[in-house]
Structure 1
Amino acid sequence: MPTLSRLTVLLCDSVPAVRRLYQELTDSPLVERVVVEESLDEAERAVANDAFDVVIIDPLVTGLGRAGDLALGWSAAGMAVVLHVDLATVEDHASMFYRGTRTGLKEMYTLDKRTPPEMLAAETEAMLVKCRDFRLRATGASRTDRLLDRVRDIAADTGDDKLEQLVEDVEETQSLAAARPGSARSTGTPASVFLSYRFAEEDGYVRGLSGLLTDRGFTVVTGRRADGYVGAAVLNRIRDCEFFVSLMTRARRFAGDEERYATSAWLIEEKGAALAYRKYMVLLVEEGVDDIGGLHGDWQRHVFTPTTFTSAARDAVAQLLERSGRADGSDGASESR
């Protein structure tokens, strides 16, 4: 299996715009060296004269047309390319940003320039892990291709049909593995729970629920410090947990309706991510909260009031215990709703 030393990174953008990112990169144990170039000419010369594992670039700042072409070329050459852009601006001008051959930019990693300062370290680390994995795959694929080419040459020189057939069999196996959906899916770390909640509830409901989960043997993971920002780091935490629990409390009242409330938008986003990752999900929904998005299996929802929260939380934890195969009957599982 190929090994890869720490990453070398080329950062192409104006220095003021990347000062914080540069610091995070140089502080990361995954990074060996960071080079900053402010123009595309300088970046192109740097790539021609040096070997970089990762190129981080903002096409909106450096020039979309040429930057897009260079990014696609660098990616095709095996470098991990990261678009360090204002994602809201990109979405507003998507038809222009992804025009023509630049549609290939959709496949590249992104890092949002609007990432809150308190989340930048986690987002940068998540991005670097993806880049490292990309380089490992690219390095392994390159070595495999060179080996297959060598075997193919030997087969042609010697007229060995068995060697030629071996090469064809290996290439067919690679194609089937690449096309197989969900072959690398992970169910997450056993007995781990991503707990999604409004941070206004941290000293109330959350403390009790988190303690109950911990007491029953679960590891609790949260999006703490994200403060409403659902970025790559938070998505990775959701993906890596076995279960997902969302505490959906009242955030605001619907206009003109005294009895219906909405919860926080980022809780809906996190729930959507958990659904996409096919996590086993349990929702604790405060009475009156009406807009919680679509849900597969309403029986996983537990409605509570301030006086019934403890009972609902126990039911939710019992449900997780049963799902994990660790139910002991001390906490009654909730009925379907």
Structure 2
Amino acid sequence: MNIHTALARANLGDEVKVVVPCSFDTFVSESNLPSKGHFRTDLNRTMVELLTFLSKQHAPFFVTISPFTTFQENKNVSLDFILFKESAHPHNDSRRIYKNSFDLSYDTLVTALSTVGFSEMDIVVAAIGWPTDGAANATSAVAQTFIKALIDHLHGKTGTPLRPRNPPTETYILSLLDEDQRSITSGNFERHWGVFTFDGQAKYHANIIQSSKDLVNAQNVEYLPSKWCVVNNNKDLSNATASALEACSVSDCTALSPGGSCSNISWPGNISYAFNSYYQQHDQRSDSCDFGGLGLITTVDPSVDSCRFFVGLRTSHSASLQAVHPSCWLVLLLVHMLFLVC
């Protein structure tokens, strides 16, 4: 309300709408049926206050929808149902047929809004995506299937059983890049939502924008030298696990999670992965590959199958204007792509 007041004083109240992104767990449903949808009891008063404010300002309701989390937490929902597969068993709710999880979640929110008197509130899906690592079924192949099916569904403009021919006002794909510092409280997959890897490489093929045919890899990315930090097998490795855990506490080792891309590498390969993550995060400083004498710097890529031992990006502040840091053009790419499906 304070932000809106400030905008109004700057004569921008009608041009700039203040919105509040809400998590997918703000609304629930008994028996997983949209007709039973409602806001959580402990949040109901707050949601009514928020919706009253949004309605007065003619602003939409911003919500996150998380099909991956739904699939993980609900054993009664099949992967085919999440991925819009025609073979999926449909859900029947008061003679309304739901063929995919997205429509079911969306209409659960529609019912929750209607229950508190805001049946006509516009909805924007502020974030929806599929992770590519850190858990079972979090792979690039499954993510590609989901994103393609979601986009085709939205472009069809068929709406949902409760809002036919009235799809979300806007839908935003989560997210541009992986975030190696993102909280993993809800799961190690949280650091792998990116459509692109941290170095700007497309993880899969997808026509996210109608005007383009496919995602394009970043060009001229500047990497650190092709060096990796691995465990020295000639040393006593009895304390190696403790060193690896310490390294993972400040770096990203989520690929080692059960079902992750590096979950199948055996000991001490997983120790080497932890050492290398720490080493690259610290810009390949020689002292960051010590680990009490257990670390060894090598120029032989230790990557195994789908388990990638990454090399960090060059982040020197002395780069010339002609050598723009990759993160800069990625921001520009986001501006151009908007990652917006209307």
More strand by share: 1
TM-score by length of 1: 0.29
Larger radius of gyration: 1
TM-score by length of 2: 0.29
More helix by share: 1
